[in-house]
Amino acid sequence: MKTRARPFFQVDVFAQQPYSGNGLAVVMDSQDLSEAQMQAFARWTQLSETTFVLPPTAAEADYQVRIFTPGGELPFAGHPTLGSCHAWLEAGGQPREPGRVVQQCAVGLVHLRREATDLAFAAPALRRQAIDPTRLPRIISALGLAPGQVQAAQELDNGPLWFGLLLDSADTVRRLEPDHAQLRALGTKIGVAAAQGTDLLVRAFAAPVGILEDPVTGSLNASLAQWLIEEGHMPSRYRASQGASVGRDGRIELHRDAHGQVWVGGASVTCISGQVWL
């Protein structure tokens, strides 16, 4: 396999300070890499996601991104969207429209905008439905919960598929010690959340894609916001926190605008920049 130097960034997303959010590897100038090369590098980084930035094929897009976990490719993911945009801008990318960026990925076009010093993306359309009642008891058991601790549950699909559970308290969320082998066998990524005051505490378990617990998860928080705001469980603007259970301090800003669009925002910090031979 012939290799060459490519611009490379490692970015911490949903982080006010370096090394407190969710790390993302971003490889620029990736148009000649094969899918197998991308997957092998993503497996090597062992980060929850690694992205590869390519020229767009859609006329409206500023750039195209492919998103890989150690276990496979994703059509969309939230922290890779913010982190890839951050890296693209830092590498000198110039959006067609100042202050707004259009990202092309497998789920389609994702719009981003600057909010103060942070970036925010427009949450993709959500498909949701009740979780199959034959599966829900197995999920609850794998999480070590009692049925009465689950206040609401939905299957959430905005590209990645998550099973979302709203629990009775933030303390219940903090104390969870899931059976990851059971979750892997179920083949299901699980997001759990509970209100803490006017904000939301979130944890994400993704053993089926090779990540036992994701530090901070944009796609999950996007779909949770669309569901929970629509059903009145959360206000139209709130902050989610995620990652304390794995030593992080992720902060996600969520709000639904007057047109019903949910925006997902947060800070990104470059931790490493240079070149990667790939």
Catalytically annotated residues: 49
Asked if residue 243 lies in contact with residue 250, where contact means CB atoms within 8 angstroms, the answer is yes
Structure-block tokens of residue 254: 């969520």
Instruction: Dump the DSSP string for the chain.
Output: ----EEEEEEEEES-SSTTSSEEEEEE-S-TT--HHHHHHHHHHH-SSEEEEEE--SSTT-SEEEEEEETTEEES--HHHHHHHHHHHHHTT---SBTTEEEEEETTEEEEEEEETTEEEEEPPP-EEEPPPTTTHHHHHHHHT--GGGEEEEEEEESSSEEEEEEES-HHHHHH----HHHHHHHT--EEEEEEETTEEEEEEEEGGGTEEEES--HHHHHHHHHHHHHTTSS-SEEEEEE-GGGT--EEEEEEE-TTS-EEEEE-EEEEEEEEEE-
Nearest to 183 by CA among 223, 214, 229, 224: 214
Distance between CA atoms of residues 65 and 85, nearest Å: 9
Distance between CA atoms of residues 159 and 224, nearest Å: 13
Distance between CA atoms of residues 179 and 142, nearest Å: 5
Name residue 123's amino acid: A
